[in-house]
Structure 1
Amino acid sequence: MRTAPAAVLYESRQPMVIEEVTVLPPQLGEVMVRMKAAGICHSDLHVIKGDLPMPCPIILGHEGAGIVEEVGAGVTSVKPGDHVIPIWRASCGRCHYCLTGKPALCDMGTEMRFTGMMPDGKTRFRNHRGDSIRHYAGVSTFSSLSTMPEAAVVKIDPEFPLWKAALIGCGVITGVGAVIHAAQVPPGSKVAVFGCGGIGLNIIQGARLVHCTQIIAVDTLAIKEGYARALGATHFIDASRQDPVQAIRDLTGGRGVDYAFEAVGLPQPIEQAYDSLRKGGTCVVSGICRGDARAAINVNQLVYAEKTLKGTLYGSTRPRIDLPHLIDMSKVGSLMLDELLTRTYRLEDINEGYAALERGEVARSLILWD
């Protein structure tokens, strides 16, 4: 058994506690990863605030990158020393969803996300009292050592910087994937992106990558304009000062956009994104909402305007294939990563990192270990 510093959430709506935890060794089909970078992502904030209830105590964190420290029996895809990105929706590779190209919907990842347990129904973390601590999304990247299923790691190029790999693991793959895989946006399209956080900025980046001619960023914080334009936005709408639906129609000659993306996780921007579409347009929702959230949609427009409303999880990607592709895109300079990183923190400052995220001060932040 090993010990490691971790950020433990003992109760929602309370700060995480930084403490040494015991990390049990990997069992059959498991690996232990020494984290080098972990993303401060809004999905974890939903759990911290109680919007998405999870049993506690739990170690959060689902976006990161690290080095394999130890492997359990039966592990064949990685070995100690390999650099990896954790997959926060691990997949079995055998079920209907995996075999039809939708691994993020695999029941394996779903169960770990909502139970906080490993596939055998147990945990690999203990606090100083010997109490079990649950895992988040099967990976718990806010522990400097984390035991997780082999199915939850992807081996990557050891020369690629681990902080960049951490950014790719959630925000980038989800946002870019929403454009390329979920919506399959063709070149020349006009798009609107509601919400310029980590996911929204990468939706903007995805729209740039597929050569959209109009990329309209929408946010209620004016500070987000600079981030959005740096990633490829051609226009910015401050939704706190004007009606974004009307503003989008004004920018598109009254017709509306071909594709609208919602990356906030609130009913109102979902409704606005849907309303900003042209006839025949598609609205893609990637924001994580409260469990009880409901949006009011004009259902007649599904018929008379032939609009499409759909959701996307993990950008509708295949992480084992698409994460290496994104790394290659970064190497040749088409995928922008330096522009995403606003701040870095030590683990002991993680609560301040989440406060800054909630205040809207950052594009993307990382916890870094030596």
Structure 2
Amino acid sequence: MVKAAILEKPGNGLVIGEVELGEPAPHEVLIDTKACGLCHSDLHFIDGAYPHALPAIPGHEAAGVVRAVGSEVKTVKPGDHVVSCLSAFCGHCEFCVTGRMFLCLGADTRRPADAPVRITRNGDEMVNQMLNLSAFSEQMLIHEHACVAIDKDMPLDRAALIGCAVTTGAGTIFNAANLTPGETVVVIGCGGVGLAAINAAKIAGAGMVIAADPLEEKRELAKVLGATHTVDALAPDAAKQIISMTKGGVHYAIEAVGRQASADLAVASLRRGGTAIILGMMPLDCKVGLGAMDLLSGKKLQGAIMGENHFPVDLPRLVDFYMRGLLDLDTIIAERIPLEDINKGFDRMREGHSARSVIVFD
């Protein structure tokens, strides 16, 4: 039995309880979770903005140590330090074989309907696994294609952030934008994902990196991560300020909040031929669009789920960036908390004043 934070009813927070994990199937890995970041995506499910089968264990931004592996696992072994990733891939669908594994629906990475479930409580009650991971737990039982081994010298509390925030934010710069040195970027929203995008834009050699956020303390934090300029995202002339300082608008506008207004600001900040990339999980009824003149100006709008990552390759590289002093993960972490304080951590997230909270397991 292991402790986990369980979502039983949206809007009521998480309940700390005990669950039981099964034995690893042939392609599965049992991991002792060492750290897990609190992500705004989890909050969407916890508060009921996005539906999910319940009860369930959220959490998807994690790092840990492999305890056991199934008989056919080839990618990791017991004792390996790993980072998990929700982009579990099958390896043989259309998206995988055309190099877009981040779009894989991962059907073969979940247990068949007639197989025993991975997580139970109270004897035989099924606990749903969220995003193939359920990392708000002392252990995870996942498919081998949902984790990757990393350098054992990498601190696991910082490695956890790479599993989502950094993969999404930095991956958007490196993969989706494929930024050319000298191009300009605005990042709207300076939470964990936005700060990672800002840091990656600096690494990639962006000519100007603008951080747009309503809170001054987050704009100041963005400067530490590499922002060259800042803008109050709620200022009525925010788009005009961005267009003025870039002499025509940015090449890339990254939306990292999940709000209609921030997506609209991203589109409004573009130069001719620029691209707006929407990362945030917006309310399901939101729509973002380009006007006729935007289209005639060659502007583009796209999503970039999980930073369009190729995580078995990208994550070890991001670890290497941290180890070489290029990627700043220390600044992104606002606090380290025990599992029992998880609801307090999400309360602070709702207030919007801090960057990333990380659960650290003993």
Q: TM tier, shorter chain?
A: over 0.9
> 1:284 and 2:282 equivalent?
no
Which residue is equivalent to 1:321?
313
Which residue is equivalent to 1:311?
303
Residue 35 (structure 1) aligned to one of 33, 36, 43? 33
> 1:331 and 2:329 equivalent?
no
Which residue is equivalent to 2:288?
295
Residue 348 (structure 2) aligned to one of 342, 349, 356? 356
Q: Distance in 2 between matches of 1:138 and 1:355?
A: 25
Counterpart secondary structure, 2:42: helix
Which residue is equivalent to 1:69?
67
For 1:221-259, what per-residue CA distance to the aligned partner results, in whole angstroms no more than 9, with x for missing partners?
222112111101111111234431111122123x11111
TM-score, length-scaled by structure 1:
0.94
Counterpart secondary structure, 1:208: helix
Mean alpha-carbon deviation: is it higher for 200-209 or for 123-132? 123-132
Aligned partner letter, 1:229: K
Counterpart secondary structure, 1:233: coil
Shift of 1:129: 5.3
Which residue is equivalent to 2:159?
165
* Structure 1 residues without counterparts, runs of 5 or longer: 113-117
Cα pair 1:58 1:133 within 8 Å, conserved: yes
Which residue is equivalent to 2:268?
275
> 1:90 and 2:84 equivalent?
no
Q: How high is the sequence identity, in percent, across the aligned residues? A: 40
Query: After superposition, where does 1:194-213 map in structure 2 within 5 Å?
Result: 194-213=188-207
Cα pair 1:35 1:143 within 8 Å, conserved: yes
> 1:236 and 2:234 equivalent?
no
Counterpart secondary structure, 2:241: helix
Shift of 1:214: 1.2
Shift of 1:198: 0.9
Q: Distance in 2 between matches of 1:212 and 1:159?
A: 30
Q: Distance in 2 between matches of 1:361 and 1:368?
A: 21
Counterpart secondary structure, 1:192: strand
Q: Distance in 1 between matches of 2:170 and 2:181?
A: 14
Which residue is equivalent to 1:347?
339
Q: Distance in 2 between matches of 1:245 and 1:229?
A: 19
* Structure 2 residues without counterparts, runs of 5 or longer: none
Which residue is equivalent to 2:8?
10
Query: After superposition, where does 1:179-190 map in structure 2 within 5 Å?
Result: 179-190=173-184
Measured on the aligned residues, the alpha-carbon RMSD in Å equals 1.5
TM-score, length-scaled by structure 2:
0.96
Aligned partner letter, 2:250: V
Counterpart secondary structure, 1:137: helix
Q: Distance in 1 between matches of 2:232 and 2:111?
A: 45
Residue 44 (structure 2) aligned to one of 37, 43, 46? 46
> 1:21 and 2:19 equivalent?
yes
Cα pair 1:190 1:214 within 8 Å, conserved: yes
Q: Distance in 1 between matches of 2:251 and 2:87?
A: 30
Counterpart secondary structure, 1:279: strand
Shift of 1:36: 0.1
Cα pair 1:5 1:19 within 8 Å, conserved: yes
Shift of 1:78: 1.5
The aligned length equals 360
Q: Distance in 2 between matches of 1:317 and 1:80?
A: 25
Q: Distance in 2 between matches of 1:100 and 1:172?
A: 24
For 1:55-109, what per-residue CA distance to the aligned partner results, in whole angstroms no more than 9, with x for missing partners?
1100000000001111122112222111111121100111121122211111216
Cα pair 1:66 1:162 within 8 Å, conserved: yes
Which residue is equivalent to 1:263?
256
Which residue is equivalent to 1:99?
97
Mean alpha-carbon deviation: is it higher for 293-302 or for 214-223? 293-302
Cα pair 1:37 1:369 within 8 Å, conserved: yes
Which residue is equivalent to 1:115?
none
Cα pair 2:118 2:141 within 8 Å, conserved: yes
Q: Distance in 2 between matches of 1:68 and 1:7?
A: 21
